[in-house]
Protein backbone atom coordinates (compact mmCIF):
# COMPACT_ATOMS: atom_id res chain seq x y z
CA UNK A 1 0.00 0.00 0.00
CA UNK A 2 1.47 3.38 -0.90
CA UNK A 3 1.65 6.40 1.39
CA UNK A 4 -1.39 8.12 -0.16
CA UNK A 5 -3.53 5.02 0.39
CA UNK A 6 -2.31 4.73 3.97
CA UNK A 7 -3.39 8.31 4.72
CA UNK A 8 -6.67 7.94 2.81
CA UNK A 9 -7.56 4.89 4.91
CA UNK A 10 -6.84 6.77 8.13
CA UNK A 11 -8.80 9.83 6.94
CA UNK A 12 -11.74 7.66 5.96
CA UNK A 13 -12.04 6.09 9.41
CA UNK A 14 -11.51 9.41 11.20
CA UNK A 15 -14.32 10.91 9.10
CA UNK A 16 -16.66 8.02 9.94
CA UNK A 17 -15.91 8.51 13.62
CA UNK A 18 -16.44 12.28 13.39
CA UNK A 19 -19.79 11.67 11.65
CA UNK A 20 -20.74 9.04 14.25
CA UNK A 21 -21.46 6.53 11.49
CA UNK A 22 -20.07 3.28 10.10
CA UNK A 23 -18.63 1.92 6.88
CA UNK A 24 -21.94 0.81 5.36
CA UNK A 25 -22.86 -1.43 2.46
CA UNK A 26 -26.02 -0.71 0.45
CA UNK A 27 -28.34 -3.21 2.07
CA UNK A 28 -28.77 -5.90 4.69
CA UNK A 29 -27.89 -9.28 3.15
CA UNK A 30 -28.46 -12.94 3.96
CA UNK A 31 -26.60 -16.20 3.52
CA UNK A 32 -28.38 -19.58 3.83
CA UNK A 33 -27.30 -21.60 6.88
CA UNK A 34 -27.13 -24.72 4.68
CA UNK A 35 -23.94 -23.24 3.20
CA UNK A 36 -22.24 -23.92 6.53
CA UNK A 37 -23.53 -27.42 7.28
CA UNK A 38 -24.19 -29.24 4.02
CA UNK A 39 -21.76 -32.04 3.12
CA UNK A 40 -22.60 -31.57 -0.56
CA UNK A 41 -21.82 -27.89 -0.39
CA UNK A 42 -18.55 -28.67 1.39
CA UNK A 43 -17.58 -31.22 -1.29
CA UNK A 44 -18.24 -28.58 -3.95
CA UNK A 45 -16.13 -26.01 -2.13
CA UNK A 46 -13.31 -28.54 -1.82
CA UNK A 47 -13.47 -29.64 -5.47
CA UNK A 48 -14.08 -26.26 -7.11
CA UNK A 49 -12.34 -23.84 -4.77
CA UNK A 50 -9.68 -25.45 -2.58
CA UNK A 51 -8.43 -27.88 -5.25
CA UNK A 52 -8.41 -25.27 -8.04
CA UNK A 53 -6.86 -22.34 -6.20
CA UNK A 54 -3.22 -21.84 -5.18
CA UNK A 55 -3.34 -22.46 -1.42
CA UNK A 56 -0.72 -21.36 1.06
CA UNK A 57 0.68 -24.60 2.49
CA UNK A 58 3.64 -23.26 4.48
CA UNK A 59 5.95 -20.31 5.03
CA UNK A 60 9.35 -20.64 3.32
CA UNK A 61 11.10 -20.38 6.69
CA UNK A 62 9.48 -23.65 7.70
CA UNK A 63 11.36 -25.35 4.89
CA UNK A 64 14.54 -23.33 5.02
CA UNK A 65 17.27 -25.89 4.25
CA UNK A 66 17.93 -28.63 1.71
CA UNK A 67 16.48 -31.86 3.07
CA UNK A 68 13.78 -30.18 5.16
CA UNK A 69 10.33 -31.70 4.83
CA UNK A 70 6.86 -30.88 6.15
CA UNK A 71 3.58 -32.72 6.19
CA UNK A 72 0.43 -30.67 5.57
CA UNK A 73 -3.16 -31.14 4.47
CA UNK A 74 -3.98 -29.06 1.42
CA UNK A 75 -7.50 -29.05 0.02
CA UNK A 76 -8.17 -32.32 1.82
CA UNK A 77 -5.10 -34.03 0.35
CA UNK A 78 -2.21 -35.35 2.45
CA UNK A 79 0.76 -33.39 1.14
CA UNK A 80 4.50 -33.79 1.63
CA UNK A 81 6.61 -30.68 1.02
CA UNK A 82 10.37 -31.11 0.52
CA UNK A 83 13.27 -28.81 -0.25
CA UNK A 84 15.78 -30.66 -2.41
CA UNK A 85 19.48 -29.97 -2.72
CA UNK A 86 18.97 -27.64 -5.68
CA UNK A 87 16.94 -25.43 -3.30
CA UNK A 88 13.65 -26.16 -5.09
CA UNK A 89 10.51 -26.82 -3.08
CA UNK A 90 8.50 -29.88 -4.19
CA UNK A 91 4.97 -30.89 -3.23
CA UNK A 92 3.82 -34.51 -3.49
CA UNK A 93 0.80 -36.47 -2.44
CA UNK A 94 2.04 -38.13 0.75
CA UNK A 95 1.34 -41.71 -0.36
CA UNK A 96 3.60 -44.53 -1.48
CA UNK A 97 3.00 -45.62 -5.06
CA UNK A 98 3.10 -49.32 -4.10
CA UNK A 99 0.13 -49.92 -1.80
CA UNK A 100 -0.51 -46.46 -0.53
CA UNK A 101 1.13 -46.24 2.89
CA UNK A 102 1.69 -42.66 4.04
CA UNK A 103 5.18 -41.70 2.95
CA UNK A 104 5.88 -39.56 5.99
CA UNK A 105 4.24 -39.60 9.41
CA UNK A 106 6.39 -37.00 11.16
CA UNK A 107 5.05 -33.44 10.99
CA UNK A 108 8.44 -32.08 9.94
CA UNK A 109 12.10 -33.04 9.78
CA UNK A 110 15.18 -33.26 7.58
CA UNK A 111 15.71 -36.24 5.24
CA UNK A 112 16.95 -36.60 1.69
CA UNK A 113 15.23 -39.94 1.13
CA UNK A 114 12.16 -41.66 2.49
CA UNK A 115 11.94 -45.40 3.02
CA UNK A 116 8.59 -47.12 3.48
CA UNK A 117 8.09 -49.10 6.70
CA UNK A 118 5.99 -51.66 4.78
CA UNK A 119 8.20 -53.03 1.95
CA UNK A 120 11.07 -50.52 1.99
CA UNK A 121 10.49 -48.80 -1.34
CA UNK A 122 12.69 -45.73 -1.13
CA UNK A 123 12.04 -42.31 -2.65
CA UNK A 124 14.38 -39.35 -3.09
CA UNK A 125 13.04 -36.00 -1.85
CA UNK A 126 12.74 -35.05 -5.54
CA UNK A 127 10.05 -37.72 -5.90
CA UNK A 128 11.87 -40.50 -7.83
CA UNK A 129 11.66 -44.10 -6.73
CA UNK A 130 15.33 -44.96 -6.18
CA UNK A 131 15.14 -48.44 -4.64
CA UNK A 132 12.58 -51.23 -4.22
CA UNK A 133 13.57 -54.71 -2.93
CA UNK A 134 13.18 -57.58 -5.46
CA UNK A 135 11.65 -55.11 -7.90
CA UNK A 136 12.85 -56.79 -11.10
CA UNK A 137 11.47 -60.19 -10.07
CA UNK A 138 8.11 -59.09 -8.73
CA UNK A 139 7.03 -56.12 -10.82
CA UNK A 140 7.63 -57.27 -14.35
CA UNK A 141 6.49 -54.76 -16.93
CA UNK A 142 6.78 -51.81 -14.54
CA UNK A 143 9.55 -49.22 -14.59
CA UNK A 144 10.70 -47.41 -11.45
CA UNK A 145 10.66 -44.20 -13.49
CA UNK A 146 6.87 -44.56 -13.85
CA UNK A 147 6.43 -44.82 -10.11
CA UNK A 148 7.59 -41.39 -8.99
CA UNK A 149 5.53 -39.69 -6.31
CA UNK A 150 2.47 -37.84 -7.53
CA UNK A 151 3.68 -34.25 -7.89
CA UNK A 152 1.52 -31.19 -7.26
CA UNK A 153 2.11 -27.70 -8.63
CA UNK A 154 4.08 -25.75 -6.08
CA UNK A 155 5.61 -22.26 -6.14
CA UNK A 156 7.32 -19.94 -3.69
CA UNK A 157 6.07 -16.37 -3.73
CA UNK A 158 5.90 -13.57 -1.14
CA UNK A 159 7.52 -15.79 1.49
CA UNK A 160 4.92 -18.52 1.18
CA UNK A 161 4.78 -21.95 -0.48
CA UNK A 162 1.64 -22.15 -2.62
CA UNK A 163 0.27 -25.54 -3.68
CA UNK A 164 -2.39 -26.17 -6.32
CA UNK A 165 -3.95 -29.60 -5.86
CA UNK A 166 -5.42 -29.92 -9.39
CA UNK A 167 -4.11 -28.02 -12.39
CA UNK A 168 -7.02 -28.77 -14.70
CA UNK A 169 -9.17 -25.62 -14.69
CA UNK A 170 -7.19 -24.06 -11.82
CA UNK A 171 -6.45 -20.37 -11.32
CA UNK A 172 -2.73 -19.75 -11.87
CA UNK A 173 -0.75 -18.01 -9.15
CA UNK A 174 0.00 -14.83 -11.13
CA UNK A 175 -3.68 -14.33 -11.88
CA UNK A 176 -4.58 -15.17 -8.29
CA UNK A 177 -2.23 -12.51 -6.89
CA UNK A 178 -2.66 -9.89 -9.62
CA UNK A 179 -4.57 -7.35 -7.52
CA UNK A 180 -3.03 -7.98 -4.10
CA UNK A 181 0.62 -8.66 -5.04
CA UNK A 182 1.75 -5.07 -4.39
CA UNK A 183 0.42 -5.10 -0.85
CA UNK A 184 1.92 -8.52 -0.16
CA UNK A 185 5.32 -7.43 -1.48
CA UNK A 186 5.26 -4.44 0.89
CA UNK A 187 4.85 -6.75 3.88
CA UNK A 188 8.33 -8.22 3.21
CA UNK A 189 7.12 -11.69 4.16
CA UNK A 190 10.24 -13.32 2.62
CA UNK A 191 12.34 -11.82 5.38
CA UNK A 192 10.21 -13.15 8.20
CA UNK A 193 10.30 -16.46 10.06
CA UNK A 194 7.71 -18.48 11.96
CA UNK A 195 8.40 -17.85 15.65
CA UNK A 196 5.47 -19.90 16.95
CA UNK A 197 2.74 -22.06 15.47
CA UNK A 198 -0.16 -24.11 16.74
CA UNK A 199 -2.94 -25.85 14.86
CA UNK A 200 -5.98 -26.85 16.95
CA UNK A 201 -9.12 -28.23 15.31
CA UNK A 202 -12.35 -26.30 15.87
CA UNK A 203 -15.86 -27.60 15.34
CA UNK A 204 -17.00 -24.90 12.95
CA UNK A 205 -17.28 -24.38 9.22
CA UNK A 206 -14.24 -22.61 7.74
CA UNK A 207 -16.38 -19.71 6.47
CA UNK A 208 -17.72 -18.97 9.96
CA UNK A 209 -14.14 -18.69 11.20
CA UNK A 210 -13.17 -16.40 8.29
CA UNK A 211 -16.27 -14.26 8.87
CA UNK A 212 -15.40 -13.87 12.56
CA UNK A 213 -12.33 -11.85 11.62
CA UNK A 214 -13.70 -9.41 9.07
CA UNK A 215 -16.12 -7.26 11.04
CA UNK A 216 -15.56 -4.99 14.04
CA UNK A 217 -19.19 -5.12 15.20
CA UNK A 218 -18.34 -7.79 17.80
CA UNK A 219 -15.07 -6.30 19.11
CA UNK A 220 -16.38 -4.36 22.09
CA UNK A 221 -18.58 -7.25 23.17
CA UNK A 222 -16.80 -10.52 22.41
CA UNK A 223 -13.32 -9.16 23.14
CA UNK A 224 -14.23 -6.94 26.09
CA UNK A 225 -11.62 -8.49 28.38
CA UNK A 226 -8.82 -8.67 25.79
CA UNK A 227 -8.40 -6.35 22.79
CA UNK A 228 -11.89 -4.73 22.84
CA UNK A 229 -10.89 -1.65 24.88
CA UNK A 230 -8.15 -0.79 22.33
CA UNK A 231 -10.57 -0.58 19.40
CA UNK A 232 -13.29 1.84 18.37
CA UNK A 233 -16.80 0.47 18.57
CA UNK A 234 -17.82 -1.02 15.22
CA UNK A 235 -15.45 1.03 13.08
CA UNK A 236 -13.78 -0.74 10.21
CA UNK A 237 -13.57 -0.46 6.46
CA UNK A 238 -12.83 -2.96 3.71
CA UNK A 239 -11.85 -3.11 0.04
CA UNK A 240 -11.82 -6.04 -2.38
CA UNK A 241 -8.73 -6.82 -4.48
CA UNK A 242 -10.08 -9.41 -6.89
CA UNK A 243 -11.13 -12.29 -4.62
CA UNK A 244 -9.03 -10.98 -1.71
CA UNK A 245 -9.92 -8.42 0.91
CA UNK A 246 -8.12 -5.81 2.97
CA UNK A 247 -9.92 -4.78 6.16
CA UNK A 248 -8.89 -1.92 8.41
CA UNK A 249 -10.06 -2.02 12.04
CA UNK A 250 -9.62 1.27 13.86
CA UNK A 251 -7.77 1.42 17.18
CA UNK A 252 -8.76 4.10 19.69
CA UNK A 253 -5.28 5.64 19.37
CA UNK A 254 -6.09 6.75 15.79
CA UNK A 255 -8.56 9.33 17.08
CA UNK A 256 -5.77 10.92 19.12
CA UNK A 257 -3.51 11.56 16.11
CA UNK A 258 -2.61 15.24 15.88
CA UNK A 259 -2.93 16.85 12.42
CA UNK A 260 0.51 18.47 12.70
CA UNK A 261 2.17 15.03 13.00
CA UNK A 262 0.42 13.79 9.84
CA UNK A 263 3.72 13.02 8.12
CA UNK A 264 4.50 10.41 10.77
CA UNK A 265 1.09 8.73 10.85
CA UNK A 266 1.52 4.99 10.40
CA UNK A 267 -1.61 2.94 9.76
CA UNK A 268 -0.18 -0.22 11.36
CA UNK A 269 0.21 1.55 14.70
CA UNK A 270 -3.37 2.78 14.85
CA UNK A 271 -5.35 0.03 13.15
CA UNK A 272 -5.39 -3.67 12.66
CA UNK A 273 -4.76 -4.28 8.97
CA UNK A 274 -6.16 -7.63 7.97
CA UNK A 275 -5.67 -9.31 4.61
CA UNK A 276 -8.07 -12.12 3.79
CA UNK A 277 -6.38 -14.04 0.99
CA UNK A 278 -8.96 -16.10 -0.80
CA UNK A 279 -9.98 -18.65 0.16
CA UNK A 280 -8.61 -19.53 3.58
CA UNK A 281 -5.69 -17.39 4.71
CA UNK A 282 -5.71 -14.34 6.97
CA UNK A 283 -2.73 -12.07 7.59
CA UNK A 284 -3.23 -9.90 10.64
CA UNK A 285 -0.67 -7.13 10.37
CA UNK A 286 0.42 -5.93 13.82
CA UNK A 287 2.82 -3.11 14.46
CA UNK A 288 5.94 -5.33 14.72
CA UNK A 289 4.82 -8.77 13.48
CA UNK A 290 2.16 -10.60 11.47
CA UNK A 291 -0.24 -13.26 12.68
CA UNK A 292 -0.78 -15.69 9.81
CA UNK A 293 -3.90 -17.83 10.10
CA UNK A 294 -4.79 -20.68 7.76
CA UNK A 295 -8.25 -22.17 8.01
CA UNK A 296 -7.71 -25.76 6.85
CA UNK A 297 -11.23 -27.05 6.20
CA UNK A 298 -11.53 -30.72 7.20
CA UNK A 299 -15.29 -31.17 6.76
CA UNK A 300 -18.42 -29.00 6.71
CA UNK A 301 -18.25 -28.71 10.49
CA UNK A 302 -14.54 -28.97 11.28
CA UNK A 303 -11.58 -26.73 10.59
CA UNK A 304 -7.95 -26.91 11.63
CA UNK A 305 -6.81 -23.38 12.44
CA UNK A 306 -3.06 -23.15 11.87
CA UNK A 307 -1.97 -19.95 13.56
CA UNK A 308 1.60 -18.73 13.19
CA UNK A 309 3.40 -15.68 14.49
CA UNK A 310 5.64 -14.36 11.69
CA UNK A 311 8.44 -12.08 12.85
CA UNK A 312 11.33 -10.26 11.14
CA UNK A 313 14.30 -12.64 10.75
CA UNK A 314 16.73 -10.36 12.52
CA UNK A 315 14.45 -10.07 15.56
CA UNK A 316 13.64 -13.77 15.84
CA UNK A 317 15.88 -14.08 18.92
CA UNK A 318 13.48 -11.96 20.96
CA UNK A 319 11.74 -15.18 21.93
CA UNK A 320 9.87 -14.12 25.06
CA UNK A 321 8.35 -11.13 23.30
CA UNK A 322 7.08 -13.29 20.41
CA UNK A 323 5.85 -16.01 22.75
CA UNK A 324 3.82 -13.39 24.62
CA UNK A 325 2.40 -11.97 21.38
CA UNK A 326 1.52 -15.42 20.10
CA UNK A 327 -0.37 -16.12 23.31
CA UNK A 328 -2.26 -12.82 23.12
CA UNK A 329 -3.34 -13.60 19.55
CA UNK A 330 -4.27 -17.15 20.52
CA UNK A 331 -6.41 -16.02 23.49
CA UNK A 332 -8.15 -13.39 21.35
CA UNK A 333 -8.79 -15.75 18.45
CA UNK A 334 -10.08 -18.41 20.82
CA UNK A 335 -12.75 -15.92 21.89
CA UNK A 336 -13.86 -15.85 18.24
CA UNK A 337 -13.57 -19.61 17.77
CA UNK A 338 -15.65 -20.46 20.85
CA UNK A 339 -18.36 -18.27 19.34
CA UNK A 340 -17.81 -19.89 15.93
CA UNK A 341 -18.40 -23.32 17.51
CA UNK A 342 -21.49 -21.98 19.24
CA UNK A 343 -22.88 -20.73 15.91
CA UNK A 344 -22.14 -24.05 14.20
CA UNK A 345 -23.94 -25.95 16.97
CA UNK A 346 -27.27 -24.18 16.32
CA UNK A 347 -27.29 -24.18 12.53
CA UNK A 348 -29.25 -27.40 12.10
CA UNK A 349 -31.76 -26.46 14.84
CA UNK A 350 -34.18 -24.87 12.40
CA UNK A 351 -34.09 -21.55 14.30
CA UNK A 352 -32.74 -19.71 11.27
CA UNK A 353 -32.78 -20.28 7.57
CA UNK A 354 -30.25 -17.54 6.90
CA UNK A 355 -27.41 -15.68 8.52
CA UNK A 356 -28.21 -11.97 8.52
CA UNK A 357 -25.40 -9.54 7.70
CA UNK A 358 -25.98 -5.93 8.78
CA UNK A 359 -24.86 -3.04 6.58
CA UNK A 360 -21.63 -2.67 8.59
CA UNK A 361 -21.01 -6.41 8.11
CA UNK A 362 -20.80 -6.01 4.34
CA UNK A 363 -17.40 -7.71 4.24
CA UNK A 364 -19.08 -10.99 5.16
CA UNK A 365 -21.43 -10.71 2.21
CA UNK A 366 -18.57 -9.73 -0.11
CA UNK A 367 -16.55 -12.77 0.98
CA UNK A 368 -19.51 -15.13 0.49
CA UNK A 369 -20.22 -13.67 -2.95
CA UNK A 370 -16.69 -14.65 -4.01
CA UNK A 371 -17.21 -18.17 -2.66
CA UNK A 372 -20.55 -18.45 -4.49
CA UNK A 373 -19.08 -17.13 -7.74
CA UNK A 374 -16.37 -19.82 -7.72
CA UNK A 375 -18.83 -22.68 -7.31
Give the footprint of ligand FES on this chain (CB under 6 A).
96, 98-99, 101, 116, 118-119, 121
DSSP string, 104-168: --SSEEE-SEEE-TTT--EEETTS-EEE-TTHHHHSTT--GGGGPPPEEEEEEETTEEEEES--T
Residue with Cβ nearer ligand FES (36 or 121): 121
Q: Least distance (Å) from ligand FES to the CB of residue 98?
A: 3
Q: What does 374 interact with, of ligand FES, Fe ion, none (CB < 5 to 8 A by kind)?
A: none
Residue with Cβ nearer Fe ion (24 or 338): 338
Strands 231-241 and 55-59: unpaired
Question: Cβ(161)–Cβ(275) under 8 Å?
Answer: no
- Residue nearest ligand FES, CB atom distance: 116
Chain residues that interact with Fe ion, rule: CB under 5 A: 336
How far apart are the C-alpha atoms of 178 and 180, rounded to whole Å? 6
3-state SS, one letter per residue, for 319-375? HHHHHHHHHHHHHHHHHHHHHHHHHHHHCCCCCCCEEEECHHHHHHHHHHHHHHHHC
Residue with Cβ nearer ligand FES (115 or 286): 115
Question: Cβ(129)–Cβ(147) under 8 Å?
Answer: yes
Q: Least distance (Å) from ligand FES to the CB of residue 64?
A: 28
How far apart are the C-alpha atoms of 18 and 113, rounded to whole Å? 62
Residue with Cβ nearer Fe ion (296 or 335): 335
Q: Least distance (Å) from ligand FES to the CB of residue 6?
A: 54
- Residue nearest Fe ion, CB atom distance: 336
Q: What does 101 interact with, of ligand FES, Fe ion, none (CB < 5 to 8 A by kind)?
A: ligand FES
Residue with Cβ nearer ligand FES (99 or 230): 99
Q: What does 118 interact with, of Fe ion, ligand FES, none (CB < 5 to 8 A by kind)?
A: ligand FES
Q: What does 96 interact with, of Fe ion, ligand FES, none (CB < 5 to 8 A by kind)?
A: ligand FES
Q: Least distance (Å) from ligand FES to the CB of residue 123?
A: 9
Neighbouring CB atoms inside 10 A of 131's CB total 13
Q: What does 98 interact with, of ligand FES, Fe ion, none (CB < 5 to 8 A by kind)?
A: ligand FES
Q: Least distance (Å) from Fe ion to the CB of residue 345?
A: 18
- In angstroms, what CA-CA distances link 166 with 75, 92, 147, 283, 321? 10, 12, 19, 25, 40
* DSSP conformational letter for 218: T
Q: What does 336 interact with, of Fe ion, ligand FES, none (CB < 5 to 8 A by kind)?
A: Fe ion
Amino acid sequence: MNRDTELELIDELLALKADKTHFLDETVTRNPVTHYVSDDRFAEERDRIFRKTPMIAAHTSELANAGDFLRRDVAGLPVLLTRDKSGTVNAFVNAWRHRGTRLVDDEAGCKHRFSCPYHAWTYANTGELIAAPHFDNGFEGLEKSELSLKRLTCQERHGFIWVTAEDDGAVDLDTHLKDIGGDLAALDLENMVVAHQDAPVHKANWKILVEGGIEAYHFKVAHQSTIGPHFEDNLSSYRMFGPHMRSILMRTSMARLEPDTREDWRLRDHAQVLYTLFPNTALLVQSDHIAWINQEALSAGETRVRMSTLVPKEEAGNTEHWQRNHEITRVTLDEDFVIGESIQSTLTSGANEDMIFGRFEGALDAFNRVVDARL
